[in-house]
Amino acid sequence: MACLLIRDVRNNEGVRFDMLVEDGRIARAAAVIDADDGWLVEDGAGALALPGFVEGHTHLDKTHWGMRWYRNAVAPSLPDRIENERRWRATSGHDAGAQSLALARAFLAAGTTRLRTHVDIDTDAGLRHLHGVLATRDTLRERMEMQIVAFPQSGVLKRPGTDTLLADALRAGADLLGGIDPCAIDGDAVQALDLLFGLAERHGVGLDIHLHERSTMGAYSLDLILQRTAALGMQGKVAISHAFCLGDIDVGARDALLARMSELRVAVVTTAPASVAVPSVAACRAAGVTVIGGNDGIRDTWTPYGSPDMLERAMLIGMRNDFRRDDDLEIALDCVTHSAARGCGFANYGLLRGNRADLVLVDAQTPAHAVVARPVRKLVVSAGRIVARNGALV
């Protein structure tokens, strides 16, 4: 791969510099780098350089992105939504392969170069959705690093055979094991979590568990998860998605849980929804818990909202946490950049020499300005390749 010289970009402190990319990695950054013959040269024109964004929680396989508008008339309970989706996926001709590719490409065009997606594994569809998303990952493998979570949307206990399918999914290429509400969905938190942790241990994979359970029920499940994380020595391999209970239990109980999570290096993944209690980003960080940002589903049967623009997600995380100061907005941005990469385990991340050359150029005066203005992505570079210009893939 040829050398790529990106001239005249700005860092967070407003210092202008040139960056040399070689073999997909950042080879040098300096005030001025003279171009050699045969190098590709891009003029950044003073744009702000941000690291490629990280989407820490989405569901590429569910989206109807780019399809005819899905008219949502679904009843509001979780079981209603799960059954509605199952019905729709079975009858609509929805194709997880084509749809996940369409949305992943939109993510890439908006500057996301690393992404974790949960893929439904269930006894109706088997591994069909997974095969679609695996094909998308393969198609984009040189431009996007993708982690796939084998996700039992309907729980692990109520539909016999789900555990075997999850094992099959991990053998087929899923990187992590998912889970969901062991009390509210599975009805037996101990049995469900024993099954999940047993599977994860046998396959040597990490866990990322959806925990929508509120208040004390959620805290009970979270305690069981932390017990098993410690018992199995899975420090640094477990993430809790949503963790709404951390937003509505007593602060004392919350801080005790956060202290244990910090010690076990259990991350929180937040989509910062505006309509439910959420974990406080500040409280998590103060306790030493890594916070990862994500969209959750994007335009699917669950929700009409969501966007492949991770600057928008950073803005929503900021709004939800009442972050108004510039330093706080930089924390919101961190949730979809450095912290997300660290929490998910994406390696060689960030605009430092030797790291994978993933960067995004935007016309913004500061990182905080980028978060609130969400300007068009002038240039997106992934693993050293120019993948998008002015918001469109090249």
Task: State both tokens at 356.
Answer: 């994978």
Report the distance separating Cα 66 and Cα 10, nearest Å: 34
Task: State both tokens at 297.
Answer: 């589903």
Nearer to a copy of itself, 21 or 335 (CB): 335
The answer to whether 373 and 329 have CB atoms below 8 angstroms apart is no
Supply the minimum distance, in Å, between the C-beta of residue 323 and a copy of itself: 9
Supply the minimum distance, in Å, between the C-beta of residue 275 and a copy of itself: 4
CA 109 centroid distance within chain: 16
Nearer to a copy of itself, 137 or 285 (CB): 285
Q: Nearest to residue 63, comparing CAs of 300, 345, 302, 314?
A: 300
Nearer to a copy of itself, 64 or 129 (CB): 64
H helix or E strand, kind and range, residue 262: helix 251-263
Nearer to a copy of itself, 71 or 160 (CB): 71
Supply the minimum distance, in Å, between the C-beta of residue 307 and a copy of itself: 8
Q: Nearest to residue 19, comparing CAs of 36, 44, 37, 1?
A: 44
Question: How many other CB atoms sit within 10 Å of the CB of residue 347?
Answer: 11
The answer to whether 67 and 106 have CB atoms below 8 angstroms apart is no
Supply the minimum distance, in Å, between the C-beta of residue 283 and a copy of itself: 14
Supply the minimum distance, in Å, between the C-beta of residue 10 and a copy of itself: 13
Supply the minimum distance, in Å, between the C-beta of residue 87 and a copy of itself: 16
Footprint of a copy of itself on this chain (CB under 8 A)? 68-69, 71-74, 76, 272-276, 299, 302-305, 315-316, 318-322, 324-327, 329, 365-366, 368-369, 371-372
Nearer to a copy of itself, 181 or 186 (CB): 181
Supply the minimum distance, in Å, between the C-beta of residue 232 and a copy of itself: 36
Nearer to a copy of itself, 59 or 237 (CB): 59
Report the distance separating Cα 128 and Cα 121, nearest Å: 8
CA 28 centroid distance within chain: 28
- Radius of gyration (Cα) for the chain, nearest Å? 21
Residue type, 135: A
Close Cβ partners of 253 (under 8 Å, ≥ 6 residues apart):
219
Question: SS3 for 377?
Answer: strand
Nearer to a copy of itself, 107 or 302 (CB): 302
Question: SS3 for 159?
Answer: coil
Nearer to a copy of itself, 116 or 299 (CB): 299
Supply the minimum distance, in Å, between the C-beta of residue 313 and a copy of itself: 12
